[in-house]
Structure 1
Amino acid sequence: MTLPLEHLAAPAPDGSFSGIWPITARRVDGELTIGGVTASDLVAQFGSPLYVIDEADMRARAGAWKAAIDESFGELAGGEVYYAGKAFLSVAVARWMGELGLCIDTCSEGELRTALAAGVPGAKIGLHGNNKSRAEIELALEAGVGHVVVDSLAELALVEAVAGERNQTAPIVLRVTTGIHAGGHEYISTAHEDQKFGLSISTGGALRAAEEALAAPHLELVGLHSHIGSQILTLDAFTEAAKAILDLRAQIAATYDVAVPEIDFGGGYAIRYTVLDDVPPSAVTYAAALAGAVTTHVTETGLAAPKVSIEPGRSIAGPAGITIYTVGTIKSVELDDGSRRYVSVDGGMSDNVRPALYGADYTATLASREPLDENVRSRVVGKHCESGDIVVKDVALTASL
């Protein structure tokens, strides 16, 4: 039997339980509603496929992260939450985050301009990315961003050159590779050595970058950054990576007599996509674990505590969003282990490439009316001429779609 949406929605958006459906998702007279608006009304007004964001859910989750960081790091050197714009960014979303006191992490000129268009002050924006263009760096410096996350020695030289031409000092954060391998798939694990991101701690590249940054006349080394992957469920990966980057901070202090003032522990906090997924730790639990690592670092080294930042993205945007499709062709195929029904919708990999790219799982439900009859083994597929154009690989959906 199909579970009611009330069962799947988070009973509270404080991170204690990460629900699959947005917190305002309900069935009213059998039909799915988000924020009190029916799915059919949304499709009638905007068409489909249609992304729908529950503002109440997204605001609540962002607020929960801000409260968790404030509570865990308030007695240390404080902290910031950078909403990872790559998860989902629009002018409205950037404005919501700014109103809640969050900063915005951007990874492209488009994301940076979106945050600025929302009225987010430059000082509350970070510019990320492994291949920033000269134009992106110039825009960031013009906007007075809080920091530019530098990803390589080549980029370090480029930021120095651009800042010098403008007679500015660029605040930079070095993205380092800790060697901690975490995440649900190789393509979203970003801290192992053989990949495009970051400056390696183990090879000495990170320490060399720190030396060059400290010597550069137009750079200010304000922080160190680590991002180890995405969709991470365990605390151990975060605490191990935290220890590695904090040890680097101690090494820089011992070598160059400089205590780097900020540490950014990145993002990657998991959410649930199906009822079979594990429930991830809460925002409070994640924050407390990171605070514990910082406290140990301070005790063991005698250095002042760094200001801390994190970059949650999917854990704020993911549960708040759904996609509404319209069903078209339906067919069944006979297999050795029974039949499977293919349910074709009016979108697919053009609006969500994640299942085809790295096997991401989702769930689905009938939105236009209550699913009352027996469920059938189904696969929701898109309309594109690719056999890998799958939206939901396996899901039990009502027989009468």
Structure 2
Amino acid sequence: MASEPVDAMTCDWDPSDPATQANYPAAQERLRQMAPVAWSDKWGGFYTLMRYDDVMTASRDPETFTATKMTVIPSSPRKGLPRLPLQKDPPESDRYRKGLNPFFKENKVRSWEPALRELAGRLMTDLLKTPEAANFSGGFAEPFTQGALGILLGLDPEEALEIGRLSHAYVEAVQGEDLTTAGGLSKQVDGFAIRLVDNRLANPRDPETDIVSGLAAQTPDGQPYTEEELAGMVRLMLIGGHVVPRNFMCSVAWHMATHPDHVALLRRDAAAWKPFIEELLRYYPANQALVRVATKDTSLGGVDIPKGCPVALNFLSANRDEAVFDRAMEFVPDRSPNRHLAFGIGPHMCLGLAMAKLQTRITLDALLSVPGLAVAGTPVWARWTEYGISALSLDLRGEA
């Protein structure tokens, strides 16, 4: 299949351009019409799939669009522990998903609800000590998602703080294109994962409640996980279980603070909660995009994609595709059906959807418990490949 030489191609967009960063949805709305398979010459060049159907097609075809070479762009050099199961395609990835699935089922996640609610209540009480300028991102979203990760992995508070600091710094370095620093921080995260696995192997805990001990006790396909496999699964959870949920909780808080009518809706109508949470996920997907690499010359959306080319699957744009969603650019609280792709689709669909929905419900409950809800100061929005708010302060005084 013939493909246009890279140096002759027209750049359709630059996700790092300040004008684009200022309003990703608006930029992508234009691209869905003008360049639905959009080329960027940033970071060595890559395509971005903007339309829902194209994202679905690529997500469900790991033979053509593999996760084994690259999952984000820009990317630090692929060294150290594999991120499992994300960086394996079927059937290899099935081995890891089989072991992880039981710990992410809704009934298992529900068992953590009392501890999460206690943590959320304590954090909100602390925020109310300075209600005029409550640091929601640093005082609630960050420690709440750290605490959830701590419950999942059996971390003590100091360990949760350490990995929170490392993961935040790592993502900042990647987004800032400081790949040397990112590589060093990635090694530190690897070291944390390896030490945690070594500790659980030497001092096993209840395999029904401790995920690392539980994974170590399993023998999928008749073979136990190796230490590297265990550490690789932990490595993925250490980053994915903290930074992405933190940004999403900030987006949820910002939305409620800027939509008092939605605060009133949830207070008066218990039936509104479920579709409302799904619409939050559609509208503010914290993972804007994940990357695959073409394993062969192929074509998608009428565009030739050469073998070896990175391809970003843009979930944010797909979730606002007018061909799939009525009033796609609007937040519709009772939207139904809502076939959003906030968790991806296909063999790499995120395992943490039940945990994410529980955290969202608890965060909304905490926000609706305060006297007032307004934005204090200017929020900071996350950069590619994330989406949503990364820093937010709230005014919790008065009537919401």
**TM-score, length of structure 2 as denominator length:** 0.26
Q: Greater helix percent: which structure? A: 2
**TM-score, length of structure 1 as denominator length:** 0.26
Higher relative contact order (CA 8 A, sep 6+): 2
Q: Greater strand percent: which structure? A: 1
